[in-house]
Structure 1
Amino acid sequence: MTRVVSLFLPSWSVDRHRRKAGDAAPPAEAPLALIGRDGRKQVVLAADAAAHRAGVRVGMPATKARVIVPGLIVHDHDAVGDADALERLALWVLQRYAPIVAADSGDGLVIDSTGADHLHGGEEVMLAGLVDRLAASGVRARIAIADTWGAAHALARFDPRPVLVAPIGHGASVLVGLPLAALRLPSDTVSGLQILGFERIGDLLAQPRAPLTLRFGPQLGRRIDQALGVLSEPIEPVRPDELIEVRRNFAEPISAAETIARYIGKLVVQLCAELEAKGLGAKRLDLICYRVDNLKQAVRVGTALPVRDVKRLTRLLTDKIETIEPGFGIEILSLTATLAEPLAEKQTLTVMVDEGIPDVSDLVDTLINRVGERSLYRAAPVATEVPERSVCRIAPMAPETGATWPSRWPRPSRLLAPPELIDTVALLPDHPPVSFTWRGIRRRVRRADGPERIRGEWWRRDAEVAAVRDYFRVEDDAGERYWIFRSGDGEDPNTGSQRWFMHGVFG
């Protein structure tokens, strides 16, 4: 089932203007409007949230906007710059999220994410991550995923939720309550339908199609069919000149898996030759199959390190052939190195030379393309004394960070997240518990070592300026060893709650 993402940037022009201005940008609470010419008049073409709250509207004459908002900050609108920046954003999304991306209506992107969401932890995780990354860059966004471009476009712009995942096979159910403008119809068509009493898409779906087509033309029916998936709506993906791409046109459409695999191998040979000529290796490959029914099937594979090994890349791509639905046949195959990095030549080792550490990158690539990048990682130490912050996830083939775990005191093999509250009998302030109750079982302490004092990281937040933990290694009557701590120094309430917690179990 095809899945299409619509990314809506409601204040793209204003957000881009603030980003471009940097430190010289007006404060977020100051009303800002961008103006341009509409014929002979100067009108507002974009406005931020503060300007909207003050009464400024897109299309309003600039003189009127200045009158109703005395402190309004006005700058010229840069349509060309917005379009160029949107294309750069599309390229960024192409390299990181999905193989088919294009600009949509000048205020967003459309993304065919079919088969790519599992690489990012699922649809909801992928969409939320994209919105969060844009928000961190100062760009406000709403996003929706549905079965069709039309449905996703409508939901992203007319549903208030910032992230919306429509169920697979939703049909018309997600559209009936949306306004007519969600169908991407001309404003005069929307006005004419409203005069006749139509307000929602559901009102149109309940009417015979012929009278509406006779009065408003074929575009109305076409937009409805596109939103419902009855009529296909191809996405022309962005393809900058610097991308390395090879393609094959077929006189007769192909559909057999063996034929597709054979031509994939030929395309990989061509692509690797071009990569070698530029001294590059591919880290992400996109195979796009152009079907005779004007639909596209995309396959994306990635590698942990830059690669231009023909056999290896061919295997990664052919492993995904079962996800391709050729329909009535494929007339064009396109293979693109969406992400490529410099790759130096390596000297071939003879069998008499010890290769040292084995190369597991091929295995890593296979696993990543099956379970997704977020599911495969390795643990690395972090330079911190706080136990729950002392480990992070890094890519399987990422270089060593150089950090090491503290070795002054032993650490348990298993940490509890979060630490669990326990009841104790202890002599304050420096003595370990005589006994403690954890998960309903009372344990008597036979031996103990400590305390090991760990202070809060005051530079992170104010609550940790005076925070203290006193850790003890304890052993019960059964010989089991635990890592427990008291929140606070046992005397000053500002250092913690003085309650005890179980944080780890020694193997």
Structure 2
Amino acid sequence: MWFPRLASDRVLRARPIEGPFALTLKQQNTDRIYCLNMAAERLGLHRAMSCADARAFCPDLISQPARPDLDQRFLGALRRWATRYCPWVGYEGADGLVLDVTGAAHLFGGAGTMLRDMRARMARAGLTLRLGMGATRGAAWAFAHFDEHGTDLNALPVAALRLDAGTVTALQRLGLRSIGDLSAAARAPLARRFGPELLLRLDQALGQVGEAISPEVEPPHYGIALSFPDPIGLFEDVMAATARLLDPLCDKLKAYETGARELTLTLRRVDQGSQQVTLRLAAAMRDPARILPLFARGLGEVDAGFGIDRMRLEATVVERLPVQQTGAMATPASPDRLNDLITRIGTRIGLENIQRFLPADSHIPERSFLIAPAAYSTPESGWSSPRPRPLRLFAPEPITGTGPQPPKQFRWRRMAFTLARATGPERITPEWWLEDDAWRSGLRDYWKVDTREGRRLWLFYTPQNPGWFVQGAFA
């Protein structure tokens, strides 16, 4: 199964466009066509063509950046869909699938009926599909790319052997234009000139060398169910059942070196109604003793009705959690208690509402930190700054003062201050590559000021527009 316009078909399925359309990808500092629809091909556009040349040929071309990662995810969904025809389905490059339908075609009424069903379903889905069937994987690839309805492999060009463009051109210059010409030629001179890859591809297509299909391994499913002979409804019984579900689930998570970030517990009642309790964790976990108490709040709000006869626990979001060595030389333990606290609070107000400050790579005081959700960020050891920074930072507030030296006396927030000691200046210039209205006035000279009244303030002076401001306070 070859999808020659997989990327563009994926985009156009969600938002159809009439007329020429292309996806672009930056390659070697040049935007080039990555994939295009049939309307663009009819106008003479082709892949790897620069976008500037393409717009010169077709001013009405509609384009947008390509997303190869989404294309691969879409191809993965097609691979799972193709298992309806046979269990052995693997990838064939970035835009194709290979199926081993041996012993499965008769279930659809024969190979011809099965191929027609594939074409019809893909046409309804808005995808361009070319099919090829052969006795070998190489032959099927050749028919799909060069003669979809053909049966004679020897009549196909040598490019159908999955060779690189340089080898194909060299073979054509020698007069070997078809697979039949190549198979009739002497093998020893070909091996000396082109290496073993050429003859390997020929033998694979003709079936003289086997080529296996490696189906993708399905990802593990982290779900455990438990049924009860008699309905339960007490909180203690539900918690005990949850503990029985957590043990095998966490064992499976440990076997695959993963940890759960989100758990969903489904409780089915005897009246066929069901309720779900979702637990979002601040860090990946697989310890039943730590996870079980975190379910207490959600399970306490469950209405058991006439009783619960089935429970199912599933880890809906998992992350990598490699096994760590423990002992005298082990690395320091992670802050488990803090993560558990974040989880408990997050079940009430949401994990996104619990935030922490993170350092940012900027000398500008207002940009020296970031605010990120604590559950989805890693705490840093501290800020790296050549000079001390105030614990409290606020918007600049003007004070009276003249000259580049800190004023001996000034008033701030209706309080009078007398200068005792000043340390500075620390000159900070604006970051010219970013637009910031607060820093458009130019550079600033910062001073750390100790006052006789006991306050330690952070002042700055603007030389280009003389003025003094207070922006922070030290402890």
TM-score, with normalisation over the residues of structure 1? 0.47
TM-score, with normalisation over the residues of structure 2? 0.50
Structure number with the bigger relative contact order (C-alpha 8 A, sep ≥ 6) is: 1
Structure of greater Rg: 2
